[in-house]
Structure 1
Amino acid sequence: MWGGRFAEGPSAIMREINASIPFDKALWREDIRASKAHVAMLGAQGIVSAEDAETITKGLHEIAAEYERDGVPEDWDLEDIHMTVEARLTDLVGPVAGRLHTARSRNDQVATDFKLWVRAANARAIAALGALRSALVERADEHCGTIMPGFTHLQTAQPVTLGHHLMAYYEMLTRDTARFAAAQERLDECPLGSAALAGTGFPIDRGATASALEFSAPTRNSLDAVSDRDFALDYLMAASQCSIHLSRLAEELILWASQPFGFASLPDQLSTGSSIMPQKRNPDAAELVRGHAGRIVGACTSLMITMKGLPLAYSKDMQNDKPPVFEAASLFDLSLAAMTGMIAETTFKPDRMRAAAQAGHATATDLADWLVREADIPFREAHHITGEAVKLADTKACSLEELSLEDLKGIDDRIDEPVFKALSIEASVASRASYGGTAPDQVRQRVAEARERLAAENSPED
């Protein structure tokens, strides 16, 4: 009934389903680091002798060098990275290796290792987001006055500047940075010493191990400490939100690089050709960033569902916590790097953008605003008058700016010559000078503020 694959019957199935070493070997650096901190504390507390602590520490150093050089061996009988390290330590230093596991369990061990790994992933995300935000700010500064169409419903709405558009993504990614920073703050407690679930009877110093591993404090509840995976979910949620923002930006770059738009040309090193159509220049990197978002969101959903019904404290379901985080982090790191390269190296086409902004009656709102401001007409009436002007311009196949004064007066006699000063796309953009608006001067102010913020984020702490 077990089929040809499992010659040993149920025991072979159990061996395969129970082993996590194929994926949790990625935690070997964290496992060895935490073990060094733990044995140093055991020695300081007199729980193991100073001589045994030194022997174990030297053995851990040797294992780290081996794994760095040769990789981590996969022995499924040893199940996971924790037993793999301990078995190798026993090979190297003999029975004294068994003292390392005093006053700890694999439960607090894996919680600590995984927290250390996620902490590093958060730090990578924050740094990579800083690079991408800087690239957006630099390109926005170049294009504070470059006019392009602004869209709602993907229909031409009002003219904006490319710098303003790029700074919108800077704002999104700044919020994402704050999410990762908050996640980092919340995980800043060390589970090590919680043991299996109830703490330990040995006189350990949890403050010492927390400090050695650069946590601000030990966790306050041993049950929570070994069963908590909020830190992993925080990372995945932040990555999911950010990947949605990256996907939106990728979609815009894909549209802009298409021939119907022609707003941009993506860098050669992040584009590909076609196997059959030599004229093609495919935005594959942007498409993959867009596609990765689905997998990252899926990873978050996967872990949420794994955790949703688990009683305290540890259950083997939690062995499935790491694959979605590892996969998501790999995809997310790559997406951020690719997007930073695209933003930094994309060639924008200001003439094509301006021509597109000129089409579609993008200054219709400016006509309505002029009627309100200069002719003291209620906005709803001004909106109706402007609609009539748009209809006439469509009939004549021209822009609002190209209608004659006679045409406009035929719609409403209160319109006079100065209206034409408001109907150019340059005037439209310049008029949007409210705080946070698209006017070039406003964009320059936002760029200057962003540079100050990025510099402050990158400055060394006091």
Structure 2
Amino acid sequence: MPQLWQGRASKAVDSRVNDFNSSIRFDARMIEQDIRGSMVHSAMLGRQGIISQQDVEDIHKGLEGILADLHSGALEIDPAAEDVHTFVEQTLTARIGDAGKRLHTGRSRNDQVALDIRLWMRDESEALQAGIRELIEALCRQAEAAAGYVMPGYTHLQRAQPVTFGHQLMAYAWMLLRDLGRLKDAAARMDAECPLGSGALAGTTYPIDRQYTARELGFDAPCANSIDGVSDRDFCIEFVSAVATCMMHLSRLSEEIILWCSWEFKFVELDDAFTTGSSIMPQKKNPDVTELIRGKTGRVYGDLNTLLVMMKGIPLAYDKDMQEDKEAVFDAADTLALCLRTLTPMLDTMRPLPENMRRAAAKGFINATDCADYLTKKGMPFRDAYKCTGTMVAACIAADKTLEELTLEEFQSYSPLFEQDVYHAIDLTTCCEGRTSYGGPAKASVLDQIAKVRAKLAEE
């Protein structure tokens, strides 16, 4: 295919430069958005009397035919085309003649691509948000069933205080809700201004109606500065930043699942359909899904860094460096979509093992804080209670006992404040249920969190 810009040069571009310059292999995925933008642009040209209504009808019929043929397989994208814009325009011209050549009146590929990537990201953001909502629902379902399963909560990966499995899972639900908010915020800023009509950088002498095209394409208003309209990629950076943050949350959850399903923890059992085996060790059941999510997170971080480095030193307005934006954006979105699509059913089919959680909680002295609080409520200063309980824990470790296994006489050898009710105070279920502060691990609190998260999802 000839280049859209031929005419200025006196000789053909080297084929190696054409290959290097071409973006059709990746920007072809924006073809629906490119056609959507072209139909609105041509309708505006007709409304303004810049092209005839017959041209508008021919252009729309031709564009609809291209899209239909692509969907049916009757038309394939030409890999020799420089980019998706070239392919659409030249295919259109081949089908409808001179009217196709008038389509590009009053615009540049610079504002065209800035529009296409925005429209593509709008569609993709909506799909990603739907995937995140499904994952949150899966977390809520598991948390609801496990709202009373006592497990050790950790700090520094050391057993710290008693929580419930439902409480632990809901921490990730709240993280993912914030991810939804970030994607929505990024989309709102992206949709605030439409770049179409900015031209190459300085607008156009044609009497175009930018308010019309912005409105018809779902934007709040046209970009107020034509240079900014074609040289802005903040919206790409913000979108991928939101995706990277979501991947970070998925990676943290994946790391916990990897630990939980190991023999050392054995808090959960993954369904066979979401694990793999070993070619040499028949006993293995590997959490490959979560390991891959953990690894792919670094890939998305790389996409974000690509965009930041790409933009940090280029002058206004458009520079060819900016062609690199699409592969980074596409890869980040594709990676998150793939991870969400795989992790959600894995979580839905995951089987918690509450007996193992409870056993680990009992052996971790995670009720030591509650024991100290018991003494404090009896009148002992907290620091003294802390020291007394620490001494008891050290003695229990040496004797291979838990606090619950101490006799009342042994308790009273440390302090006469201990009475029979100490056993109720340090019971693990009591420890969880006693934490009634807002957002805590008590079963009622977990169920309240689930209700609040579901209400927020319903608001969406």
Same fold (TM over 0.5): yes
Deviations 1:34-80 (A, max 9, x none): 0011001111111100011111111111111222233642343x311
Equivalent residue for 2:360, pick from 356, 368, 381 = 356
Q: Does 1:392 align with 2:382?
A: no
* SS in structure 1 at match of 2:421: helix
Alignment partners' CA distance in 1, 2:76 and 2:264: 51
Alignment size in residue pairs: 448
| Aligned twin of 1:274 | 278
Give 1:124 deviation, angstroms: 1.2
Check whether the contact 2:271–2:349 (CA below 8 A) recurs between aligned residues: yes
1:119 aligns with 2:122: yes
Give the counterpart letter for 2:392 in structure 1.
Answer: A
- Whether 1:53 and 2:56 are equivalent positions in the alignment is yes
CA contact (8 A) 2:25 2:79 kept: no
Aligned to 2:153, what secondary structure does the other structure show?
A: strand
Q: How far apart, CA to CA, are the structure 1 residues paired with 2:59 and 2:175?
A: 48
SS at match of 1:417: coil
CA contact (8 A) 1:385 1:411 kept: yes
Aligned equivalents of 2:150, 2:33: Cα separation in 1: 50
Q: Of 183, 188, 192, which aligns to 2:186? A: 183
Match of 2:3 in 1: none
Q: Note the alpha carbon deviations across 1:351-408, whole angstroms, 9 max, x for none.
A: 111111111111000011111112x122111110011110111122110011112222
Q: Which amino acid aligns with 1:313?
A: A
Give distance in 1, aligned partners of 2:455 and 2:86: 49
Q: Secondary structure at the match of 2:14?
A: helix
Secondary structure of the residue aligned to 2:452 is helix
Is structure 2 residue 300 aligned with structure 1 residue 296? yes
Q: Distance in 1 between matches of 2:15 and 2:457?
A: 54
CA distance, structure 1, for counterparts of residue 58 and residue 417 of structure 2: 94
CA contact (8 A) 2:198 2:204 kept: yes
Task: Indicate the RMSD between aligned Cα atoms, in angstroms.
Answer: 1.5
Q: One-letter code of the match for 2:437?
A: S
**Pairing 1:231–2:270 present:** no
Answering whether residue 412 of structure 2 is matched by residue 409 of structure 1, we say yes
C-alpha contact (below 8 Å) 1:22/1:74 kept by paired residues: no
Pick the aligned partner of 1:141 from 144, 160, 163. 144
Of 308, 315, 318, the match for 1:311: 315
* AA of the residue aligned to 2:257: L
Corresponding residue for 1:425? 428
1:204-223 equivalent positions in 2, closer than 5 A: 204-223=208-227
Whichever residue aligns with residue 347 of structure 1, its letter is R
SS in 2 for 1:163: helix
Aligned position for 1:322: 326
Unaligned runs of 5+ residues in structure 1 are: 1-8, 458-462
Q: 1:296 is matched by which residue type in structure 2? A: V
Which residue does the alignment assign to 1:16?
19
Q: Corresponding residue for 1:4?
A: none
Scaled by the length of structure 1, what TM-score is found? Answer: 0.94
CA distance in 1, matches of 2:409, 2:27: 77
Q: Say which SS state the counterpart of residue 286 (structure 2) adopts.
A: coil
In structure 1, distance between residues paired with 2:87 and 2:31 = 9
Displacement of 1:120 in angstroms is 1.1
In the alignment, residue 161 of structure 2 is paired with which amino acid?
Q
- The residue that corresponds to 2:6 in the other structure is none
Question: How many Å separate the matches in 2 of 1:428 and 1:408?
Answer: 18
* Structure 1 equivalent of residue 255 of structure 2: 251
Name the counterpart of 1:95.
98
Tell me the TM-score normalized by structure 2.
0.95
- Structure 1 residue aligned with 2:269, among 257, 265, 270? 265
Range with greater deviation from structure 2 (203-212 or 249-258): 203-212
**What is the CA distance between 1:119 and its match in structure 2?**
0.9
Q: Which runs of 4+ in 1 moved over 4 A?
A: none
Alignment check: 8 A CA contact 2:254 2:290 kept:
yes
- Structure 1 distance, partners of 2:61, 2:13, is 40
- 1:293 is matched by which residue type in structure 2? T
Contact 2:174–2:453 under 8 Å retained in 1? no
SS of 2:348's equivalent in the other structure is: helix
Q: Secondary structure at the match of 1:185?
A: helix
How many angstroms does 1:104 deviate by?
Answer: 0.3
1:155 and 1:442 map into 2 onto residues whose CA distance is 24
Are 2:203 and 2:226, in contact at CA under 8 Å, matched by a contact in 1? yes
Alpha-carbon distance between aligned partners in 2 of 1:420 and 1:402, rounded to the nearest angstrom: 9
Match of 1:151, SS state, is: strand
> Which sections of structure 2, spanning at least 5 residues, go unmatched?
1-11
Q: Which amino acid aligns with 1:291?
A: G
CA apart distance, 1:12: 2.8
Paired-residue identity, %: 47
1:169 aligned residue: 172
For residue 291 of structure 2, what is the aligned residue in structure 1? 287
CA deviation after TM superposition for structure 1 residue 283, in Å: 0.9
Alpha-carbon shift at residue 112 of structure 1 (Å): 0.2
SS at match of 1:258: coil
**Matched residue type, 2:334:** S
Letter in 2 for 1:254: I
Q: Deviations over 1:269-295 (max 9, x none)?
A: 221121122221111111111111111
Q: Residue 206 of structure 1: CA displacement?
A: 1.1
Aligned partner of residue 152 in structure 2, secondary structure: strand
Give the conservation status (yes or no) of the 8 Å contact 1:21–1:75.
yes
One-letter amino acid matched to 2:196: L
Give 1:10 shift. Answer: 8.3
C-alpha separation in 2, matches of 1:143 and 1:411: 36
SS of structure 2 residue aligned to 1:34: helix
**Structure 1 residue aligned with 2:28:** 25
2:9 match: none
